[in-house]
Each structure stands twice: as C-alpha cells, then as structure tokens.
Structure 1
C-alpha cells in the first residue's frame, strides 16, 4: 500500500520540476543577447516507482509511479558545429591579415596616381628628353636634378613605409601573442573551476559557455585543436605542443631575430589564424616584394650610372676642361649613389650624387666637347625602352614595375576574395550553430506557457489531494455527527 501522502509528494515533485523548468526558461530569455551563451534545457525523468516488496509497495502486478525528478540542466550544444565554426574562423583570421597587409603595400605604391612611382619615372625620363633639346640649359638641368631627387625620394619612401609595416606586424604579433597567453591562462583557470564543480556533481554550464567563447576567440588567432579531458576540462594544442593542458597553460613568444613563433621555447609552425597571417606576411610577402623593388633599384641605378659615368660621358666642366686641354681626364660622376657613397642596391639607400646636387654642371649630357652635344642625354632618355636583365626575366624597367604593381594588385584582390569567402563561411557555420544552441524568444515563450500550465496543474492537483486528505482525516469516523 502507498503512503497516505503519496499524492501530495507527486504534486510537490511536479511543482518543483515545473518551477525549475520555468527558471531555466527565464535564464535563457535573460541571456538571449549574451555573446557565447548556450541555450539550456531542464531534463526530467520519471522518479523511481514503488517496486520492491514492503509496507509502502503495491501488491498488484503493477508499479506505482512516484512523480518526476529534474535529472540535469544541460547545454544544447553540438561539438561538431563548434569545430566547423572554429576551422572557418581560423581561415577568416588568416586572410583578413593577409588582405590588410597586401592592401597596405598596394597603397604604398599608390598606382596609378600622379605621386606613384610610375609617374615619377615618367617625369624623370621626360626631363632627360627635354635636356637633350637644350643640353646647356641650367633650367633643364635643374628639372633633371629635381626629378632624379624625387625618384630617389620615392624609392626611399616606399622602403620606409614597408619597413614601418614590418615593424607594425612585429608589434601586432607580440600583442596577439600576449592576448593568446591571457586567453589560455583564463581557459586553464576555468578548467580548474569546472573540474571542481563536476567532481561535486554540479553542472557548470555558464562557466563552460565562457570557456567556449574564449576558445572561439583563440581560434581566430591561431590554428588550435581542442580535445576533451577528464573532469569536464579541455586540452588545447597548437601543432603537437600544449597551449592548455588541463589546469596548466603554456606561453607563446616571438623570436624577432628570425621571425619565429615559439611555444614553451619550441619552434612551432602556424598554418592559419591571424598570427599565421602576420608571420607569413612578415617572412614571405614583404621580403618577396621588397626584393623585387630592391632589384629594380640595383638594375636601374646601375644602367643610369653606366651611361652617366661612361667612358665618353661629359658634363659642362669636362667640356670646359677639354677645350683647354683636349686630353684632360673626364670626371665620370655616377648619377645615383648610396648614402655611404657606394653603389645603391636597396630602395632605402638610393640618392642623387651630392656632387650633382651641389653643381648642375656635373650632369653629363654630352659625349663630345661641345655644350650643344646631347648624345648622353639621348642615351639616358632611351634607357626607358631598353630591355634589361633581371633575375628571372628580361624586360624594360617600366614593364618590370608594371608587372610588380599588377601582381600586388592581383594578390590583394585574391586575398580580399578569400577573406569574403571565409567571412561568409564563418557566418554560415555560426548560423548553423545558433540554430542549435541559440535562444529563440518565440520558442522560450511557448515553453514558458507550457511550464506555467504544468505548474498550475500540479498546484491544482495538490489542492485536490488536500481536499481528499481533509475528507479522510476530518471526515472519517464522524458518521451521523
């Protein structure tokens, strides 16, 4: 036989279960707009029935139920969808950095524009053509000097801008690594709290949400691998190295001497994420394009100097000296030099020879002892059409630069397209994840009404049982009274 108050107990458990479900629904509604929050659900199950022989168990061939229990409050989360989101998030981080770096290089070249290197080159060649028409004109020589200086300054500006971009990338790498170290430390701290609560039989859903949000943030920074560990904890790897090992976190650092990321002092290879994009930009993109610009400077200055300081090249002072002494030695002054006076080989080091800056007479426009001769100026003007030998091709200077600028533009557009694609895939993955884990206000309102009705019904049931018991206790044995 069952307890006299068996019905009251069933009603009480029903009220508690409905109340818990309403609280969970309210928690979901309150956090509908909270970043990283995962929808929760109260899981109920029928409580143990009266089955074993005893004073309170039934004698018939049946089990008498005892009501309902709330088994757990669980997060509605799919780890597979988390993995998809994080994989796409890594790609988004990588391509966003690559696109940003390439676009800044493209902006540095500033093509096509009046201030771009191509326009400065055109003005430089034009000034030699104008000088060839008036080789003894000081004003024409001043224009050659001005345009030559502008060309050298433009090379310097490009080199300095790209060098600043490199320094910015190094600073950003250090900043991002500090951010990763802080996130890893916080994840390991949450692992500790979660493990303690799991061991005590609790369900730290909100702490797990915080941890998952931090892991999402880590995934945009680097290609991480997340694995479940004992006690509700997770381990996080970069390659084969631990970033988070249970309640312990590791330290990322950057060796700026060789641009190598380190984890616990060990070299690691980053494949995706913002850090990988920064390292690849720093070690591949920038050096590759700067090498081509520097090669252009080397070939260009060498060709100009070979003509300007050629065996027969004469400036106005040479012409004056030859008129006095036909066998007088020629000065043979190079037009471009490095800042220490040697042959220029890099864009940051090229400049117009200070001797020419000090005296326009030092510009060698002639090849015979006549102020009206312009053979040298003509050769320098024709240099823009000359096919020259570069490391992997033979072409003109203008075409070499156009190819370089076009290549950077194409790479920038490709990176932008990859970034847009990655962003779209991230949004799709997040939408799929939110369709499972996100809070739907309409659904929660429906649940709220359902649980409210359950609560009301349970309360009414208790009222009925109270009336029954009242009749039993107060009415039994009072027949005829």
Structure 2
C-alpha cells in the first residue's frame, strides 16, 4: 500500500522545480544586457515511479519531478565561426585606422595643405622666375617655396617615424592585455575543470566569461580553440600554445636593439614569447597583424617614396641647377643640400656618382643650400644657361665644339658664329674669326686668344661677353667650317628656370630614380596608391562587420535573452508554483482530517 504522505513529496518536488525555474528566469532577465552572457535553462525530468498494487495488479504511480541540470544555450559551431571572422574584422578595422593616419600625414584631401599643393607652388615659382629671372622677389619666392617643400617632406617623414613609435606603445598595451586575458582564461580553466569533474555539474557563468575573453582574443589575433577532455580551453596562436590546462604563455615585445630599422633608424618592435630565445609570434590575422604591419611595412613604404623624391631633388634637379648660371654668373651651385657636395646624376652620360647614403640619409640631406641665404645669395639661383641651344656646326664630320667661359651678359646680339680660317695638317685650328651679325662682318681672333697648347683641341678665347669656344682637333676639320650658337639675353633670361620647372612636371629618363615618371606624377601615383589601400581596408572592414554581425545574430538567436520569452516562462513557472502550492494545501487539509478527525465519532 502506498505511503499516506507520498503525495507531499511529489508536490514539494514540484514546488522546488518551479521555484528554481523562476530563479533561473530572474537570472536571465538580470543579465539580459550583460555582454557575453548565455541564456540558461533548468532541465527537468520525471522521477522514478512508485509501484503500488491494485485490484488488477501492479501499478506505476508517478512521484513527481527531478531537477537534472541547469545548462546554458550555446552553439559552439557559431562560436568557432565568430572567432575566425572576428580576426579578419580586427585586422580590417586596425588597417583602416593606420591608413587614415597616413592620409592625415600627407593631408592631400584638403586644399592648400598637402604636399601636392606645396609641389605645385614650387613649380609655379619656377614658372614665374622663368619669365622674370632678374626679379629679386621672384628669386626669393623660389627659395622660400623650396624651403616649404623641404619642410613638408621632412615633416611627413618625421610624422611617419612618430607613428611607428605610437604603434609600438599600442603594441605594448595590447601585449599586456593579452597576457592578462590569457592568465584569466587559465584560472577559469582550472575552476571549470574542478566544478565539472565527473560531468555532473555545469559552470555556466564561468564558461560565459571564458568564451567572452576568447571573443576578445579572436579580434586581436588568429586563434585556434579546442576543449580537452578535462574541459580546459587550449588556445593556439600560430605555433605558440597561448593557454591550456597547464598554464599560459606570456608574451612580450622584442629587445629594441634587435628591431632598429637600418634605413630610417626607427624601432619596429614585434611580439615574442617572453623569456624565450627571441621566438617571434607570427600573427596571420587580427589587430596584432595589422599593428605589426603598421609599425614596419606601411610607414617604411611611404618613407621609401619620400626618400626617392629627396634623392631626385638632390641629384637630378640639382644637376640642372648646377649647370645653370646665377645673376652673379656663378655656376655649379646646388639648390638643395650641402653647398660643397655634388650629389651626382644617374641620367648623365656617363652617370655621375654621388655620395653613398642610406634611404633615410637622402631625406636627412634634403635642405636648401645655405649659400642661398647669405647676403646676395639669391643671385646664385641659376635661372639662365650659358647657351640656349647646342652648338650647330656646318661640318658634321668636323671636331665637336662646346661653349665655355664666364658669360657677363649683354643686351646686344646674342647670336654667335665662329669660323675656322685655317687648320694644321693634323686638323688643329690655328686661325679663326667670329661674327655677331649673321656672318656679314667677321673679326679675326687674335693669335694670343687661340690656345693651341693641347694637341686635342683649340680654345678660342675672349669672344664678346666673356665667352670661349673649344673645338676638338679632328682630321676632318676644314677651312670655312662654322660653329653657330646663341646665349641668353642677360640676366632676364629664364631658360634654365624653365628647365628646372620641367623637372617637376615632365617625364624623367628611365635611369632616373622616378623610373620615367615625372616628380608630380610619381607623387600623385603614391597618393593614388595610398587611397586605394585605404579604400581596400575600409571595404574589408565593412564586409567583415556585416558578416560578423550576421554571425552574432545567429549566436544571439541561440544564446541571447529574449525578454518576451522569459516573461512567458515566468508566468508559466509562476502558475506551476501556485498550482503545486494549492495541491499542497489540499493535501494538508486531507491529512489534517485524517489525523485529527479519525476516531472522534460518538464522543
């Protein structure tokens, strides 16, 4: 026969089950906005039935409900998808920030502020000088616009180096954060393993915290996560086990002495295993990979381009300036750099070698020739050339000629003709005349002005306005051969300024450091490349954000707290609790009648 009080046990089990379910609903609602929280539920099951015997035999009578477990709703497949795609999102977002910083450095999106504007102003100043070469204001403007260009390049290079230093600081902070999270995950591993030993309990809230930290790690770097037989998370980054059940691997930044860039002298720090033999951690995705690129590859790429521009200005632009003449008739003057250094010219035939400098050395060497700031220094700005066109000789087979001397300039005729009147048996000129009126009137060159001391050429000295003509000795030289050339009309000539102007806008030779592009085109190409890279990183971030948001929505469909659903459950469990309480009241009344009312009839 069944126990008289067995119904009480059944109802009490029901009350406890409904009460715990209500408590769990309250826990869910309280954590509805807690980041990383997973919805929990109470798993109920019927208890073993009791066997009673009736008139027809054995009967199975229910004994109530048992609380089997409290579990969280979680989809590990969605978690793994999230961890994978979150790394790409972290990489994209950090890359967007990096390229945004580089764009701010060059500042070419805003008018009148970027290096492109400075280049255009420098070009325009030479354009003006080419038409007003004797104007001191135009010469001063050229010098100051050049100084503005130097300052813009130096400032951009300095900011790129400062950017590396700032990123190193960010890397250091990130490494500290990773170590703190790894340590906490290791502690959680031990707690979860102890609680869940035997598989009878679930450390739901601890697991949520561990998954939340893993979410944050996945955005920072590429992680591979799996759970071992003792419920420990094993997290790997490339070939480094970051954390497992036995401990965690602390990370650090490498020794600064091992990361000094040979070209520019900045410290491109990287992440290593702390206390190890400088074992580098190779990040393949996430914020850490983007930061490693941001403090080495990206700034150095643009520093290399600034170095190319600086080298071009010091070599090829300077070479044209050195070939020209100032209003003081001085020549071989640099416009950029040290006044006593010839930086070379790779496009000359044969090429002129310059000093051996590092890439950063070319940027550091870029300055305005200090002589241009001395008293009368602007007179050294070479706006004119000695001759405005090559020497044209009537006998193409005869000896080649070149113009020399110190041109003193004159407003008079600037067209010169030199005629060979007689040559020796070896083809050396020993008599010559010159004309300033197109060959109508000829003036003999004095014997004293014919330098025949060198058997390979003859110098016709003291032509009008300080010029001389060198004619190579050649067996093909004949009497009446003529050499024609012209010179600028005084200091107002800006033909060399025009040549320098063209060095900024016209295509260069293949041997040039700009590889055939103009300086203007090279810089525009650099800014175009930067724009494409910035757009690519922005597109990656936007696409990954959309994908990660979708995955997170899928995760929340399982793990998220739905307030409406929880309120429905609250009413359901409340009704169950109230009903069980009413049954308990009824049973209490029945037992009271049985105990206190039985045997009192007839008293």
The TM-score, its normalising length taken from structure 1, stands at 0.90
Structure 2 residue corresponding to 1:130, chosen from 128, 131, 141: 128
**How far apart are the structure 1 equivalents of 2:570 and 2:364?**
69
Partner of 1:290: 303
Quick check: 247-256 or 73-82, which moved more? 247-256
Task: After TM superposition, list the pairs within 5 Å mapping 1:185-334 onto structure 2.
Answer: 185-199=183-197, 201-255=200-254, 256=256, 257-258=258-259, 259-264=269-274, 265=276, 266-310=279-323, 313-317=324-328, 319=329, 331-334=331-334
Structure 1 residue corresponding to 2:91, chosen from 91, 94, 102: 94
**Contact kept in structure 2, 1:99 and 1:416, CA below 8 Å:** yes
Task: After TM superposition, list the pairs within 5 Å mapping 1:338-353 onto structure 2.
Answer: 343=343, 346-353=362-369
Deviations 1:33-90, CA, capped at 9 Å, x for gaps:
1111111000011112236xxxxx6573443322111111100111111112222221
Structure 1 residue corresponding to 2:82, chosen from 57, 82, 85: 85
Deviations 1:117-136, CA, capped at 9 Å, x for gaps:
12211211221222222222
**Contact kept in structure 2, 1:50 and 1:58, CA below 8 Å:** no
Give 1:338 deviation, angstroms.
6.4
**Structure 1 pair 338–197 and aligned structure 2 pair: CA distance change class (3 A):** farther
**Structure 1 pair 478–154 and aligned structure 2 pair: CA distance change class (3 A):** same
Partner of 2:106: 109
**How far apart are the structure 1 equivalents of 2:19 and 2:207?**
24
Deviations 1:257-286, CA, capped at 9 Å, x for gaps:
334322353222211111111112223222
**How far apart are the structure 1 equivalents of 2:170 and 2:497?**
48
Quick check: 332-341 or 39-48, which moved more? 332-341
**Contact kept in structure 2, 1:300 and 1:397, CA below 8 Å:** no
Query: Which protein is bigger by CA-based radius of gyration?
Result: 2
Give 1:478 deviation, angstroms.
4.3
Do structure 1's residue 457 and structure 2's residue 565 form an aligned pair?
Answer: no
Partner of 1:323: none
**How far apart are the structure 2 equivalents of 1:340 and 1:434?**
71
- Determine which structure has the larger strand proportion and give its number: 2
Partner of 1:337: 337
The TM-score, its normalising length taken from structure 2, stands at 0.73
- Determine which structure has the larger helix proportion and give its number: 1
**How far apart are the structure 2 equivalents of 1:391 and 1:398?**
13
Q: Identify which of structures 1 and 2 has the higher relative contact order when contacts are C-alpha pairs closer than 8 Å and 6+ apart.
A: 1
**Contact kept in structure 2, 1:366 and 1:377, CA below 8 Å:** yes
Partner of 1:18: 18
Task: After TM superposition, list the pairs within 5 Å mapping 1:352-391 onto structure 2.
Answer: 352-358=368-374, 359-368=377-386, 369=407, 370=409, 371-388=491-508, 389=510
Deviations 1:128-148, CA, capped at 9 Å, x for gaps:
222222222221111111001
**How far apart are the structure 1 equivalents of 2:517 and 2:195?**
71
**How far apart are the structure 1 equivalents of 2:212 and 2:338?**
53
Do structure 1's residue 28 and structure 2's residue 38 form an aligned pair?
Answer: no
3-state DSSP of counterpart to 1:15: helix
**Structure 1 pair 339–135 and aligned structure 2 pair: CA distance change class (3 A):** closer
**Structure 1 pair 177–349 and aligned structure 2 pair: CA distance change class (3 A):** farther
Give 1:293 deviation, angstroms.
2.4
**Contact kept in structure 2, 1:11 and 1:462, CA below 8 Å:** yes
Equivalent residue pairs, number: 463
Partner of 1:54: none
Partner of 1:67: 64
Taking only aligned residues, the RMSD between alpha carbons, in angstroms, comes to 2.2
**Contact kept in structure 2, 1:44 and 1:70, CA below 8 Å:** yes
**How far apart are the structure 1 equivalents of 2:338 and 2:550?**
54
**Contact kept in structure 2, 1:124 and 1:147, CA below 8 Å:** yes
Partner of 2:181: 183
Give 1:438 deviation, angstroms.
0.8
Query: Structure 1: any 5+ residue segments left out of the alignment?
Result: 52-56, 320-329
Task: After TM superposition, list the pairs within 5 Å mapping 1:415-434 onto structure 2.
Answer: 415-434=537-556
**Structure 1 pair 349–465 and aligned structure 2 pair: CA distance change class (3 A):** farther
Partner of 1:441: 563
